[in-house]
Amino acid sequence: MRIGMILDKTFPPDPRVENEASALIKADHKVFLFCLKYNDEEGSEVQNKIHIKRYTSNKLEFKLSALAYDFPFYTNLMEKKIIHFLLENKIEAIHIHDIRIAGAVFKANKQFDLPVVLDLHDNMPEVMKLYPHLQKFPGKQLISPKKWKEKEEEFIKRATKVITVSEEFIDEVKKRTKIDKNKIILVPNTVRRSFYKEAKIDKKISDRYKNNFVILYLGDTGLRRGLQTAIESVVDLKFKINNLKLVIVGNNTTDIILKKQVKNLGLEDFVDFEGWQDVSLFPSYIQTSNICISPLHRNIQHDVAYANKLFQYMSFSKPVLVSDATAQMNLINRSNSGLVHREKNVHDFTKKVLELYNNPELGNELGINGKDFIEKEFVWERVSGNLIKIYSDLEKNE
C-alpha cells in the first residue's frame, strides 16, 4: 500500500514518525512522508527507505499554524501542498501525525476519498493551554483551545481509524467522543531494540560523570515537566549524597527560569544544563546515570500520556522516579521499574531519591525489571503490530 504520512514540521528528527514508517516499510508498504522545510534542504530524498517529500514553508506559515482553527489561512495554504503530494505520489491511504494539519488534510481529501488514520501523539488542545504564549496577549485573545478541542473531536469522528499512545488516552477519547471502541488503537511510544543494543557510548560523557551520583532528566524542559521540583530537592540532597549531579539534557524557552532558580539557590556546582543533544548521545547520558526522572505536573495531557524518555531509561536497566501523573504512574507500577512521588512535592521527591540512594540493591532490582518489561512486552518491534494490522485491514478492504 502507498501510505502518505503527513507531518507539519521538519524531518528528521521525529522518533515516532520514523519508527512507524520503518515498521510499515518492513511490512512491505511504501511510505511517503509529507513534511516542511525552512532552509535549503533537499526537496525529495529517500532515507531508510522512507520517501521524504519536503514542501517549502516560512516563518509566516509557522506562526499561522497556531491559528489553524481560529482563522483559515494555514489550512488553505497547506491544502494545496497536500493535494500536490497526494497526486504526485499516488497515495492510497493517509496517516496524519497530530491535528494541527488535519483540517487541511481532510479538506484536500474531499477529492480523493482515501482512508485516513489519525495519529494523536498528544492531547493537543490540553497541551496548548499550558503554552506560555497562550497565557498572555495576544495569544490568549487570538487562540482558542476550546475550538481546537471541538476540531479534534470532529477529526476523530471523521477518521477511518484513530491511533493514540496509552490506554488512559484511549479511555479519555472514548468517553469524550463516544466512538466505537474498535475504531481507536493503541500504538505507544517506545524504543527500538537498536536504541539500546547498538548504542555507542561517548567516553567523554562517561568520564565526566564517572565519579558522580547522577540524577538524569532527558527531553523538553518546559516548566510543566516538573524540573523545578527536582532542582529544589538538590538543596537538601547535596548534603546527603556524595558527588551529586542533577544532569538536565534538553531545552525550552523557559530555561531562563530554571537557571535563575539554580543560581538563586546556589546550586551551580550540582546542576548541569547540557542543552539539547543529539539522540545518539542519549544512551551515553543514561548509561552514566544512577536514577532517571520524569517529575511531570499533573494535567489532562500528562495523565493520559507518557514520554518516550521512560522507555529509553528502562532499556538501560535504570531505576526511574516519576510523579503520580496517572499514565506514567500506572506504567511504572505495572512494570515495577521505579518509584512514584507526589507531583510538585519536593519533600516526597527527596525522600524517594534517598530511598534509591541508600538501597542500591532496590535500584538494581527495579532497573532489571524495567529492562525485562521493555524486552518482553514493550519494545517497538512488539507494540508496532497494532499499527501494521491497521494497514493490513485497509488493504484487504480496498
Residue labelled with grid coordinates 506559515: 61
Backbone angles phi, psi at 105, to 5 degrees: -65, -50
Q: How far apart are CA 89 and CA 91, in angstroms?
A: 5
State the average pLDDT over residues 92-110.
94
At 381, the amino acid letter reads E
The angle subtended at Cα 150 by Cα 146 and Cα 154, nearest 5°, is 165
Kindly state whether residues 185 and 285 are assigned to the same domain: no
Q: According to the model, what pLDDT value does residue 107 have?
A: 95
Secondary structure (3-state) at 337? coil
Q: How far apart are CA 28 and CA 11, in angstroms?
A: 22
Kindly state whether residues 306 and 167 are assigned to the same domain: no
Range of the domain at 340: 193-377
Kindly state whether residues 24 and 83 are assigned to the same domain: yes
* Contact present, 22 and 48 (Cβ < 8 Å): yes
Kindly state whether residues 97 and 157 are assigned to the same domain: yes
What is the tens place of the pLDDT at every residue in 224-276? 999 999 999 999 999 999 999 999 999 999 999 999 999 999 999 999 999 99
Kindly state whether residues 108 and 206 are assigned to the same domain: no
Q: According to the model, what pLDDT value does residue 136 have?
A: 62
Number of domains in the chain: 2
Supply the angle between the helices 255-264 and 227-237 in degrees, to the nearest 10.
20
The reported pTM is 0.86
Q: What cell was used for 56?
A: 517549502
Kindly state whether residues 320 and 357 are assigned to the same domain: yes
| Percent with pLDDT over 70 in the chain | 94
Kindly state whether residues 102 and 201 are assigned to the same domain: no
Please determine, for residue 287, whether its predicted confidence score (pLDDT) is greater than 60. Answer: yes
Count of beta carbons in the 10 Å neighbourhood of residue 382:
14
Kindly state whether residues 360 and 256 are assigned to the same domain: yes
The CATH code of the domain that includes 14 is 3.40.50.2000
What is the tens place of the pLDDT at every residue in 29-38? 999 999 999 9
Kindly state whether residues 305 and 158 are assigned to the same domain: no
Q: Which of 165, 143, 181 is nearest to 306 (CA)?
A: 165
Q: Positive or negative CA dihedral for 58, 63, 64, 66? A: positive
